Structure 1
Amino acid sequence: MRRIEPFFPLSHGIPRVDDRRIISGIVYVIKHGLMWRDAPKGYGPHKTIYNRFVRWSRLGVFNRIFAELAGAAGAPDRIMIDATHLKAHRTASSLPKRGALSRCIGRTKGGLNSKLHTVCDGQGRPIVMLLTEGQMSDHKGAVLLFSRLPQAKELLADKGYDSDWFRHALASRGITPCIPPTANRKVQHAYDKQLYRQRHKIENLFARLKDWRRIATRYDRCAHIFMSAITIAATFCFWL
C-alpha cells in the first residue's frame, strides 16, 4: 500500500473512506467477477467502491501505477510480444455506442471481443499493454506498440509478427528478433529455437491475467474502465 498510495488524489474537505479497504474491494470484485452490488459488506458500500474505481480510472490513476512500477524495474535484456482475445459480454456491447472514443470491441469468428497486445520482459512480467478491437491483427498491434518498446537485446514473438518491416525496424534499434518464419516465405529466416522455448512465459502471463474473472470476460462498456481493470490485475500479479 505504501508503494501505490502516492498515486492517489488527495482528499478535499471531508476525509474519504480508507483507501486500503476500497482498493481491496475493487480487487476482490475484479478477481471474482462479481457485480459491484455483490461486493462483500466488509469492504463498505458497493456504490463507494464502484464510484471510486470509475473516478480513478478516468483520472488514469491505475495506469500510472502500472507504468511507474513496471518502469522502475529498468530496461530488460529480453522482451516478448504477443496478443490474446478477451471475450466481451453482452452487457459490454448491447447498448449503442456513444461518444467519439472507441469501445475497443470488434467482431471475429469467436464473436464480440477485445484484444490485449502485451510486451513483457524475460521473466514474463508485463511492461507495455494496449487494448484494441478483436479483429486487429497481431502485426498491426506491434506497429502501434513499436515506439514504446524498451531498448532490449532480443525480442521473442510467434509467426504472427513475421514481416520484413518489423524485422528491419527491430534491427534499426539493435534488437535481435527471434521469430520463426511463416511457411510461405521464399527466404526462411534462421532463429534460435532453444531461445524461442522461453516464449511460454508470455502465455503464462495471459493465463494468470485471465484467472481474474472480469478480465477473462469483459463486462465494462468503456474501454478505459476495462483497461484499468487489466492494469490492476497486472500490477497485483506481477509488480507488488
Structure 2
Amino acid sequence: MSRAHVDVRTLRTDAGVGCEAIESLAEETPVALLYNGHPHAVMMATPSDLEDFAIGFSLSEGIVDVPADVRVVDIVHGADGISLQMHVPQRAFDALPGRDRSLVGRTGCGLCGSETLAQAIRPVPRVEGLPVAGDRLRDLFLALQARQPLNALTGAVHAAGVVDAYGQLHVREDVGRHNAIDKAIGAVLRRGARPRELLVTSRASYEVVHKAATVGIGLVAAISAPTALAVRLAQLAGLTLVGFARDERHTLYAGPGQDFL
C-alpha cells in the first residue's frame, strides 16, 4: 500500500550551522484512471482517499451525471503507480472525449491532454448562487486549516473543503489542488449527501469554478485571487465566487445579482 508521505534524512543548515534532521515529504504518485478497462487519464496525486478521488473526478469532469453510475472495481498498486479501475454505463463510456487515447496530466493538471479548444473549456451549467456570511466564512476556513494534518507535517499539499447540504465540512488534501477538490467532492457524494459550498487553499482558477458548478455547488471561496476567466464562468453559472478569504477579509467577485465584469 502507498503512503501519503515518506520520511527522509536531511542536512539542515541554519545561520551556518548544520545538523541532521528527519523530514516528512508529501508523496506524489502517478494515478491512472481507467473506465471499463480503458485508460482515460494519468494524474500525479497523493495516494490517499482514492475512492473519493475516483467518484469526485468522474462527477466533476462530467463523465457521469450521478454517483450511482460509477463503480470502483479495483485499486491496483504497482511498481510504476496506482490504477483506479472503474466501470461506467456504456453510454457514458461512449461519450468519453479522446477515449482512443490516454491523457497524461501533471500534478492536478486542468487542461493537460485536451485535444481541442472545445474539450478544454466545456459549457458551464447553471447553479443556484449562495449568499456570503463573513463570520461563517471565516469560521469555515479556520475549520479547514485545523483539518490539514498532511500539510502540517509536510508543508507541501493543498486542501479543499466541501460543505454538504447538512452543513458538514468534508476536507481532503493532495499535492494537486484539483485532486483535493475531486477527493472532497467524492467524499460528500459517497455519503449520499449533496455538495453546496467549496473552500480551497489556492487561487480560484477556471477549472475550480467549473468542477464546482458541474456538481451543483453554489459558492466557491479561495484564500487567493480568482482569474478573470473564473469570474466570467462564475457569472455564467450564477455561482457565488469569493477570493482572498483570509481572517476578517474577503472579496466578492461574482454572485446572484452581481456583475463586476
Normalising by structure 1, what TM-score?
0.28
Q: Which has the higher strand share?
A: 2
Larger RCO (CA within 8 A; separation ≥ 6) = 1
Q: Which has the higher helix share?
A: 1
Normalising by structure 2, what TM-score?
0.27
